[in-house]
Amino acid sequence: MIRETIGDVWQGPYEVVDARAGDPETKRWKMVVITGSSANVPTREPWIVRTEAWLRGLVAESVPTFGICFGHQLLAQALGGEVIRNPRGREIGTKKIVRRADDWLFEGLPKEMFANVTHIDTVGRLPEGAVSLAFSTLEDHQAIRFSEVCYGVQYHPEIDADIMRGYIETRREILASEGLSADALLAETSDAQPGAETLRNFVKRFASR
């Protein structure tokens, strides 16, 4: 899904690394995208802590790095912030994202846009020097600039309407137990193309570097 979203703005090769399988290989990466995960950063599993150390190295070397959902939270924790269970509850579906600061990441996009989200954890404390760029009703940090070449987004640029509906349907009973209506969420679901454009903007920025 991430490759499809990036599309033609990246013509180079891809390599998939499973961080759970051991230490990530040390290579000269052009760019790194850290995906979402069903894991939770606050559990502090050994592979999570190990990956955070690897990410600190990437950021220190100014490797362009983009975190998505779990990846966004992982970067925040790795760089000195703190990830916690969101006290406002689960955020899922197509949500309005409001920009609080201008940044090239949002080039060509309106101040208020829509993106698809599914998460229960949140960045409770920002790392020193990080800047929160956008928020939603249930999430204070939908986008964070950690450095000039390192960004994270809590939403999922790669998830379209069909995939989002699948997530909602799969969690129908859980959502009901939390007081959320799956039918109402499904009725509001869309492809949320502006969210996808932020990932493309990031890759476009560094593709020719």
3-state secondary structure at position 32: strand
CATH number, span 2-206? 3.40.50.880
Beta strands in 77-153 (DSSP E): 82-85, 91-99, 112-119, 121-125, 131-135, 143-147, 150-153
Residue 150 annotated in active site? no
The answer to whether 85 and 182 have CB atoms below 8 angstroms apart is: no
Q: Which of 52, 91, 139, 158 is catalytic?
A: 158
pLDDT number for residue 26: 65
Tens of pLDDT, residues 26-36: 677 899 999 99
Residue 69 annotated in active site? yes
Residue 158 annotated in active site? yes
Q: Which of 69, 91, 141, 150 is catalytic?
A: 69
Tell me the average pLDDT of the chain: 95
Tens of pLDDT, residues 122-175: 999 999 999 999 999 999 999 999 999 999 999 999 999 999 999 999 999 999
* Number of residues in the chain: 209
Domain limits of the chain? 2-206
Where does the pLDDT of residue 193 fall: very low under 50, low under 70, confident under 90, or very high at 90 and above? Answer: very high
Q: Which of 72, 119, 141, 156 is catalytic?
A: 156
